[in-house]
Amino acid sequence: MSNNILKIDSSARMDDSLSRKVTQYIADTLSSSSANIAHRDLAQTELELVTDAHISAYYTKADERSDEQKQLLSLSDELIGELKIANTLIIGAPMYNFSVPAALKAWIDLVCRVGETFVYGNNGPEGLTHVERAFIVVSAGGTAIGSPVDFSSAYLTQVCRFIGINNIHIIDASGSKRDPDTLLDFAKNQVDKILS
Ligand SMILES: Cc1cc2nc3c(=O)[nH]c(=O)nc-3n(C[C@H](O)[C@H](O)[C@H](O)COP(=O)(O)O)c2cc1C
């Protein structure tokens, strides 16, 4: 089976971004000659917010959608397509105001789509993706990961479960005010332990 890795970055920062460094480290560590790595940079993608028209299109059967609705869903289709072929998902999630950046939330709203990434079954929602494991890198300043005011880790874990991903690793990349090398070593050690 092919090894398809999807790396999602959402930091507005580029070179100085700690989450980007850690997501890249995970991708590099997992990559082999047989791995395909797709990169979606949400800071460089024009992500629309879900509108009334999107919701109508989501709930219209694919073969009954108008050309306008198909056009409206084209980015959502593209993002879902990237997710559907992935076995491994890596998400860089800087903490912005105790939660995820707006760009990451917009991506979530475009990929969590009924009939595509989840369905409602007899026992509630069932995830439809085939991602076997997810690495979620939560970078932050002073907010402790896993604390009651970290609204990123539990939220992203729930979103992953909702679309069918059950093997989820949260990588704590908090403490951006300290020496960046120390923080990176701290995060990389967690990754190494998981992968060893
Ligand atoms: C708009 C904004 C909001 C932030 N809010 C928080 C926060 O609520 N808690 C926190 O610990 N750090 C917060 N930070 C700090 C970032 O989470 C931290 O700098 C992190 O390293 C950013 O990820 P990056 O290095 O990948 O860009 C915020 C930074 C920005 C730019």
- List, run by run, the mean pLDDT of 10-residue segments along the chain (196 residues): 90 97 96 87 98 96 97 98 97 98 98 96 95 97 96 98 98 89 95 94
Distance CA 115, CA 164 (A): 13
Residue 32 has a pLDDT of 76
Whether the CB of 140 sits within 6 Å of ligand 1: yes
Structure confidence at residue 160 (pLDDT): 98
CATH of domain 3-195: 3.40.50.360
Encoded tokens for 149: 């005011």
Nearest residue (by CA) to ligand 1, atom 27, is 17
Nearest CA to ligand 1 atom 23: 94
Q: Which amino acid is at 95?
A: M
What's the confidence (pLDDT) of residue 10? Answer: 98
Which numbered atom of ligand 1 lies nearest the CA of 94? 23
The pLDDT of residue 2 = 72
DSSP string, 26-55: HHHHH--TTEEEEEEEGGGS-PPPP-HHHH
Distant-in-sequence, close-in-space partners of 1: CB < 8 Å, separation ≥ 6: 87
Check pocket membership of 155 for ligand 1, CB cut-off 6 A.
no
Determine whether the shortest distance from the Cβ of 177 to ligand 1 is under 6 A: no
Query: Is 178's C-beta closer than 6 angstroms to any atom of ligand 1?
Result: no
| pLDDT value, residue 1 | 55
**Which are the contacts of 107, defined by CB distance < 8 A and separation ≥ 6?**
8, 10, 40, 42, 45, 47, 79
pLDDT for 49 equals: 97
User: Given this model, what pLDDT does residue 105 score?
Assistant: 98
- Tell which residue, 74, 82, 76, 78, has the closest CA to residue 8: 82
For the chain, the structural domain boundaries read 3-195
Instruction: Say how far apart CA 11 and CA 33 lie, in whole Å.
Output: 28
Q: Specify the pTM.
A: 0.96
What is the per-residue pLDDT across 14-29, written as a single tens digit (0 to 9) for each?
A: 999 999 999 999 999 9
CA of 8 to the centre of ligand 1 (A): 17
Structure token pair of residue 24: 């890249």
